[in-house]
Amino acid sequence: QQQVKQSPQSLIVQKGGIPIINCAYENTAFDYFPWYQQFPGKGPALLIAIRPDVSEKKEGRFTISFNKSAKQFSLHIMDSQPGDSATYFCAASMSNFGNEKLTFGTGTRLTIIP
């Protein structure tokens, strides 16, 4: 079953715009929510992550917004650039020391046009 639902599947945004990618989860025991960025021909790499004790986290132009009551979290990219064109995956896991598994969303292919 799909425990982390991600949307949209693809997204095209003009340079300078703010793409927003959304994820929703079902399991209230999830307490770690990372986003991974994947360029063509490469493996995914950690971009930014959040825990549910905060509602927002910023790292450079990337921001995660987290809504615990709605069981949703989203990625915003400020002042987007063509170099941000990639596939983005949200994920979630439960803290279980030495026994954590990440559950990934289905991915969003983002294209930033000049």
Partner 1 sequence: DVKVTQSSRYLVKRTGEKVFLECVQDMDHENMFWYRQDPGLGLRLIYFSYDVKMKEKGDIPEGYSVSREKKERFSLILESASTNQTSMYLCASRTGRHLGNTIYFGEGSWLTVV
Given the complex with partner 1, which of 32 and 62 has the nearer CB atom? 32
Give the binding range for partner 1 (CB under 8 A) out of 13-21, 54-62, 69-77, 89-97. 89-97
Q: Shortest gap between Cβ of 65 and partner 1 (angstroms)?
A: 19
Among 12, 26, 28, 51, binds partner 1 (CB under 8 A): 51
Number of H helices, E strands in the chain: 0, 11
Interatomic CA distance for residues 9 and 97, integer angstroms: 32
Given the complex with partner 1, which of 17 and 107 has the nearer CB atom? 107
Interatomic CA distance for residues 33 and 71, integer angstroms: 11
105-96-62 Cα angle (round to 5):
40
Q: Indicate whether 45 belongs to the interface with partner 1 (CB under 8 A).
A: yes
**CB-facing half-sphere around the CA of 44: CA atoms within 13 A:** 19
Q: Shortest gap between Cβ of 46 and partner 1 (angstroms)?
A: 5
What is residue 83's three-state secondary structure? helix
- Residue ranges binding partner 1 (CB under 8 A): 6, 9, 32, 34, 36, 41-46, 49, 51, 89, 93, 95, 97-107
